[in-house]
Structure 1
Amino acid sequence: MQQPLGFVDPNSPTSVCKLKKSLYGLKQAPRAWFDKLFQALHSLGFQQSSSDASLFVRHGPHLVIVLVYVDDILVTGPHSQICQQFITQLSSQFPVKDLGPLHYFLGLEVHRSSHGIFVHQSKYLIDLLKKTHMEGAKPCCTPLSSTKLDNSGPLLSNPTEYRSIVGGLQYLTWTRPDLAFAVNQICQFMHVPREQHLQAAKRVLRFLKGSFSHGLWFTKGSTHLSAYSDADWAGCTFDRRSTSGYCVFLGSNLISWSAKKQSTVARSSTEAEYRSLAHTAAELTWVCKILRDLHFPIPTLPTLWCDNISAISLASNPVFHARTKHVEIDYHYIRELVLANLLKVQYVCSADQLADLHTKSLSKSRFQFLCSKLPIGICSDSPSSLRGCIRENDKSPISVTVK
């Protein structure tokens, strides 16, 4: 061990600091800290969400929402004065640093304008391009080529570089739904990466080089909850498993998305589509629970859009049950939601299936068309500094760091 630079004691140059307390050094420290914070929030009238352990809500006369990530906390609500009162109460129990309205949180940059809220990761992406020496690469239009990845080709002599790139790209999917399928593909070769896999990862970086300022827009509007579900049947060339994809919208705002390989081999396209339908229905159910914890009413029945007529028929027609015993669990799950009038499954043509973006590699025109249907864009009036003027009665989330 060595003394920190700038803190060397001239009288004891070989001595080191004795660490009395540590939040990150002990295995049990995160749980102990969370238990202590949980007790503090509970004493202030907050209830933990049953669907998300990091979400705390206090209703009463004034709503206050708290989102916790270790010692970084977001506080928001319709009344800024009530939020400030809560921060003052919390500071009486912990050393708290109020960072003001949310601008930067865990690599996510937040910019508010007259159009809405824009969330992006431009700084994180620029740092990733510099780290991988790809800041001078030639941009491309799609994150993946038409050639499917497999286990052929020479092995990488140093797989650490590949794993580092893929790990960095995974975090970018928080604000870049157009990367979901590409990152899902390159993540499947982490254990034994080959030369073609590294080239695919660098192609994703080249795609990001031409769209580093892109992010997600969140605007006011309809509160109707809807989702698109799709599957690429037997799309994987070496194990013939299907890839499921979905997009969940609250009004026009994209709030959840996924691209994931199914755990079992589907024996028909209907089975693959139906399993994807069940995964999307489960995500919709989780979103509904979160909204109920926030006391946010859903005005209309959630709609689930699917482009497979057989899967839709299977969700509402019990005659199909005898022929599909191998998907019985998913069948009963969807059927219960439909019969309980908690979900509505409808048909959408394949040309307008937005979840197609998360199931397969697409051509340039198809990829750009689907991206144009998502709230992905750039902030034209983004300030040079992330921290702008604080407006009176600003209802934006407040970032708090506990020392």
Structure 2
Amino acid sequence: MQDLGEIHYILGLEIDFHEEYAFICQSRYVFSMLRKFNMQNCKDIDTPMEQHVKDPIKVDERSFEDITLYRSFIGSLIWLTITRPDLSYCVHKLMQFMQDPKIQHWKMAKRVLRYVSSTQDYGLLYKNEDLTIVGYSDSDFASDKMDRKSINAYTIFLGGNLVSWLSKKQDTISLSSCEAEYKALTTTTKELLWIKRLIMELKCIKDDDLPLIKCDNISAQALAKNPIFHAKNKHIEVAHHFVREKLIGGEINLEHIDTSSCIADLLTKPLCKSVFSKHRSNLGLISRSMLDPHKIHF
């Protein structure tokens, strides 16, 4: 074995180290993607998806002829989401049409790459902070117009640094926004507790350090704290008891936040430019050109 020193490039990941931060991006990988799909001269755009995107589900919509090209395109974008959580929702959406992509899906995919081109040197910033664990939970109720399933999303921060995120369609249909949010809360709780136990095994935090979950749905929080179960929500009793057990046992804490402050909202739906940019910044995604230590707030 040979010690090659501090890592700087591996599997398309570029890692910059500094005394006070580490920065991970995939700018070289993006450049090779643009060349591979002949889009190095494409027109840049500010968001990966239109805010009010038209539903690409027309039965008579013409299929995209080169399915292999579409799958290769989406596969390349999937690898890019390792350092680009801002792409998670749109890539998750496009993945659903791998078997039979339409012309409109191909246009949507190319729009994503146009956005990637405009943010080619963006990556995740990891700063020297404490090890407080904070999670943001969110859901977009019945957002999929094909099957009316809701989208689960969470972002989990360790010391202000993004360490885990998810954008995924729920397995079953939710009958209310409260139920959809509660399912998302359950998923967030499980991931957050797993991260806490991992950090505890590394002797970095104590057992009494209470993780915090921030949610913008008052009904879901009330359901977690309410010991009385009503007939209309008995079908989510198992999820209810799991979250409530962790809440009463002092393993997690719940806090209500305004929807505009819920960072996980970025992973549930297309947003306008201003809100998208705000949440992208809150995720710790910045341009490499901003890495001057005097410009970064610690």
* TM-score normalised according to structure 2 size: 0.93
Match of 2:56 in 1: 150
Shift of 1:104: 1.3
Q: Does 1:362 align with 2:271?
A: yes
Match of 1:126 in 2: 31
After superposition, residues 166-245 of structure 1 pair within 5 angstroms as 166-245=74-153
Pick one of 217, 240, 249 that aligns with 1:331.
240
Contact 2:131 2:204 in 1 (8 A): no
Contact 1:116 1:220 in 2 (8 A): yes
Q: Does 1:341 align with 2:250?
A: yes
Contact 1:233 1:268 in 2 (8 A): yes
Deviation per CA, 1:60-107: give whole Å up to 9, x if none: xxxxxxxxxxxxxxxxxxxxxxxxxxxxxxxxxxxx232211111222
Percent of aligned pairs sharing the same letter: 39
Counterpart amino acid of residue 124 in structure 2 = L
Q: Unaligned regions of 5+ residues in structure 2, if any?
A: 293-298
Contact 1:241 1:262 in 2 (8 A): yes
Give secondary structure in 1 for the equivalent of 2:2. strand
Please give the alpha-carbon distance, in whole angstroms, between the structure 2 residues aligned to 1:201 and 1:297.
42
Contact 2:138 2:185 in 1 (8 A): yes
Shift of 1:293: 2.5
Please give the alpha-carbon distance, in whole angstroms, between the structure 2 residues aligned to 1:301 and 1:343.
6
Give secondary structure in 2 for the equivalent of 1:257. strand
Q: Does 1:282 align with 2:190?
A: yes
Please give the alpha-carbon distance, in whole angstroms, between the structure 2 residues aligned to 1:330 and 1:148.
33
Give secondary structure in 1 for the equivalent of 2:43. coil
Match of 1:105 in 2: 10
After superposition, residues 238-257 of structure 1 pair within 5 angstroms as 238-257=146-165
Q: Which moved more, 1:316-325 or 1:100-109?
A: 316-325
Shift of 1:340: 1.2
Please give the alpha-carbon distance, in whole angstroms, between the structure 2 residues aligned to 1:255 and 1:229.
14
Please give the alpha-carbon distance, in whole angstroms, between the structure 1 residues aligned to 2:285 and 2:39.
23
Shift of 1:381: 7.6
Shift of 1:322: 4.2
Alignment RMSD: 1.6
Contact 1:111 1:382 in 2 (8 A): no
Match of 1:380 in 2: 289
Please give the alpha-carbon distance, in whole angstroms, between the structure 2 residues aligned to 1:322 and 1:286.
31
Please give the alpha-carbon distance, in whole angstroms, between the structure 2 residues aligned to 1:122 and 1:158.
27
Counterpart amino acid of residue 104 in structure 2 = Q
Please give the alpha-carbon distance, in whole angstroms, between the structure 1 residues aligned to 2:147 and 2:56.
10
The count of corresponding residues between Structure 1 and Structure 2 is 288
Give secondary structure in 2 for the equivalent of 1:142. coil
Q: Does 1:268 align with 2:176?
A: yes
Shift of 1:214: 0.2
Give secondary structure in 1 for the equivalent of 2:219. helix
Instruction: Give the greater-gyration-radius structure (CA).
Output: 1
Counterpart amino acid of residue 274 in structure 2 = S
Contact 2:8 2:16 in 1 (8 A): yes
* TM-score normalised according to structure 1 size: 0.69
Shift of 1:300: 2.7
Q: Which of the two has greater helix per residue? A: 2
Contact 2:131 2:205 in 1 (8 A): no
Q: Does 1:318 align with 2:227?
A: yes
Residues 381/263 of structure 1: CA separation in 2 closer, same or farther (3 Å cut):
closer
